[in-house]
Amino acid sequence: MPFGLFLLAPHLRSWEETSILSSTLMRIGGATPSTVVMLDFHDAIANCALMDAGYIGSPYTWYSRRLQQCLDRILVSGCWMDVFPKMQVAHLELSKSDHHGLLVEAEHTIERKASSFQF
């Protein structure tokens, strides 16, 4: 399997792949990724009905001397967004690593129904 999938919680997944996930808009330097492989990967995301959760911070999550890319993203389902509509993803700058960390902050919203109980 060319990419790693780490299950963090139901309907929340972190995907990392050094040559597929990065698009030409989310990279500086390096060779252009294979279009066929990228299309297959995007089809898999669509078939799973996942969407990019977005981010706060630098657009790039990985650096080398001549290359910057967004390799790491959080993909969520519609069900996840229904439960955590105010979710935020932050790209954290880590000084001792070439990868930025991802911080997911999600607050569970509970709809309270009016109680029919009366004295």
Alpha-carbon span 111 to 52, nearest angstrom:
25
Residue 118 lies in a domain: no
The per-residue pLDDT for range 48-68, each reduced to its tens digit, is: 888 888 888 877 777 777 777
The per-residue pLDDT for range 98-118, each reduced to its tens digit, is: 777 778 898 876 666 666 766
* Per-position b or e across 72-90, b if 16+ CB within 10 A of its CB: bbbbbbeebeebbeebebe
Return the CATH number at 41.
3.60.10.10
Which pLDDT does position 26 carry in this prediction?
60
Number of domains forming the structure of the chain: 1
Residue 113 lies in a domain: no
Which pLDDT does position 74 carry in this prediction?
84
**Model pTM greater than 0.85?**
no
- List all residues 6 or more positions away from 107 whose beta carbon is below 8 Å from its beta carbon: 84, 86, 87
Q: Share the mean pLDDT of the chain.
A: 70
Alpha-carbon span 57 to 21, nearest angstrom:
18
